[in-house]
Chain A
Amino acid sequence: MLSSCCDFYTLKGVLHKMATNSDLNKKNAVNVRDMIAEKKKKRNFSNVTEKMIPTILIIIASISILTTVGIIYTLLAESIEFFKIVPIWEFFTGTVLKPLSQNPEFGILPLITGTVISSIIAMLVAGPIGLMSAIYLSEYASDKVRRTIKPLLEILAGIPTIVYGFFAFTFVTPVIRSIFPAVEATNILSPGIVMGVMIIPMIASLSEDAMTAVPNSMREGALALGATKLETTFRVVIPAALSGIISSFVLGISRAIGETMIVTIASGSSKNFTFDITQSMQTMTAYIVEVSGGDAPAGSTIYYSLYAVALTLFVFTLIMNLLARYVSRKFREEY
């Protein structure tokens, strides 16, 4: 009896335990279901993010395309307005540029000669010196020398163009004038030279990359045949790296054409159609600075001329950049 009583109590206890257990189980079951639902919800959310991200990224990536579209659209739209007033033929063959006179004339040839001449001067400086630096760094210099000189050349490349402009105007021009007094205070020669110095690091480093890419086995072959280092460089390395070297030159020209501050400061704003490098000449870029800085009222002919000149400049540099890429792809020697 006692035992049964005890049994009864135990049974009751067990039953009670079972009940609480099943309660617990029930609770747990609910919990798991909740958790699964929650997990699903979370996964849905992360699925949504997962699906949204590519779209968001495409939108961000298309900003760079919008920039191109923006540039081309603004240049074309405003240039078309300009060519309604000034015939396109007159613009590209006119040798007189008098935007501010009573009877304004818009011929772009003075600006084009200024741009071309300053670029030629710059390349006469940067081409040979840049190439020779590249030859020295890639063929002659020891590793240690190369590792000291390259960062210094990078500093030269990192100096803002306005600083070069200051240098051309306050140092190079006075030096040139003390040697050749006939040179004017603002002239195209001095900014051309300084622009060349600015471009040296670019040509040197791009040409050097092209020359370092030539496999050593080719150099060793030439040296083993008894060629000197110089002969190896000119007969083997340079021909093999020619596409890279030419494209570095073309990129240098493109850089010179688009350079603004040096010529704006040191070459003045004379719009004469001349080939005399001792005189002041205006480039396309300097014209844009002068006219836009003078607060040309929107809608005036001179305001539209800004865009026509910029469009010409844009086409010039675009052709150069495409040419550089074409040369380096088309004529690359694969080893």
Chain B
Amino acid sequence: MKYIDDVQVQKRMSSRVTKNNVLKNLFLAATLFGLVVLAILLIRVISQGAAWIDWNFLTGRLSTNADRAGIMGAILGTSWLMLIVIPVTIFIGVGTAIYLELYAKKGKFQSFVATNISNLAGVPSIVYGLLGLTIFVRAMDFGNAIIAGGLTLSLLVLPIVIVAAQEAIRAVPQHLSEASYGMGATKWQTVKGIILPAAIPGILTGSILALSRAIGETAPLTVLGIPALLIPFPGNIFDTFTALPMQIYYWTLDSSLVQEYAYLAAATIIVLLVLLFLLNSIAIIIRNKFQQRY
């Protein structure tokens, strides 16, 4: 008795192989689709905006006259935001991660906090904007100041920092902390002297990635009512401000009225993307330099 009909198999074989090859190319094309769009986007932005970037644009004040408009105010605003987001998220993020990984008893509270964090990561950014509007702008009466924007963005990216710090702490080998306990160190001494220094590269990488997410966010800032008026440069955290993404937003909206605004928006996008690129490069350098030291 014959189990396999050779003729039949031979007949079908070529069509099966062709199908495989055709679809393989289709899958490749789909993969390249995203990259092609990325290329078009970058080429488009650079071709529109590159010519507008000069010293006056980077250091100038905002102006309704497209030729004289500058983004110094937005650059300063974004820098101020970073000055708030970095310490706040690292302090709260690392503290929470230490608690969850090293101190919390495996129990209901710990799993509740962990579930809560993963749920927070899925909340749309605009909802954080409303939270910031209600609590920081109105209830605490900061108005649309840098501190309100910075705290809102900090809450928004906090889950990213917590998860990154948790992973970094988990990656510290057990024998390091055991050696520390063996020498008679207490728990906090071990955390402070052994675990945290070993986890710092991972924590920094995660924080920088979170920071680059924060400074690209626009939606929460629009809800806080960040203006694009001709305001003076911010001097402290209680001043009103504008930020790079807000500037892009307003210029894009008005580009149907004044064509040049589209170019200004593109130029601002280049500045923002360069900033994000620098941040990500730093993160990658840290990651590569300190990878697998133990």
Contacts and interface: CB of A to CB of B under 8 A. Distances in A.
Nearest to A47: B186
A204 B27 CA distance: 12
A292 B138 CA distance: 13
Given A160-B217, A230-B24, A129 B113 contact: no
Nearest to A129: B30
B60 interface: no
Interface in A289-323: 289, 292-293, 295, 298, 306-307, 310, 313-314, 317-318, 320-322
A78 B127 CA distance: 13
B99 A74 contact: no
A292 B245 contact: no
Contacts of B41: 159, 163-164, 167, 171
Which of A50, A292, A307, A325 lies at the interface centre, i.e. has the most chain B CB atoms within 10 A of its CB?
A292
A122 to B, nearest CB: 13
Contact of B134 (A58, A74, A132): A74
Nearest to A175: B40
A159 B99 contact: no
Nearest to B280: A158
Contacts of B26: 132
A298 B126 contact: no
Given A64-B92, A68-B120, A140-B24, 18 more contacts: A49-B188, A50-B187, A56-B95, A60-B95, A61-B113, A62-B113, A64-B117, A64-B159, A67-B155, A70-B135, A158-B212, A158-B276, A160-B217, A162-B218, A162-B245, A288-B129, A313-B124, A317-B122
Which of B38, B96, B127 lies at the interface centre, i.e. has the most chain A CB atoms within 10 A of its CB?
B127
Interface in B194-235: 212-213, 216-219, 222-223, 225
Interface of A: 46, 49-50, 53-54, 56-58, 60-65, 67-68, 70-71, 74-75, 78, 128-129, 132-133, 135-137, 140-141, 149, 152-153, 155-156, 158-167, 169-171, 185, 197, 200-201, 204, 228-231, 251, 254, 257-261, 264-265, 285, 288-289, 292-293, 295, 298, 306-307, 310, 313-314, 317-318, 320-322, 325
Interface string B241-285: 000010011001101100000100110010011001000100000
B274 to A, nearest CB: 12
A310 B187 CA distance: 44
B45 to A, nearest CB: 7
Interface in B8-33: 16-17, 19-20, 23-24, 26-28, 30-31, 33
A64 B24 contact: no
B27 A310 contact: no
Nearest to A69: B116
A70 B98 contact: no
Contact of A162 (B23, B96, B248): B248
B119 interface: yes
A313 B31 contact: no
Contacts of B216: 158-163
Contacts of B20: 228-231
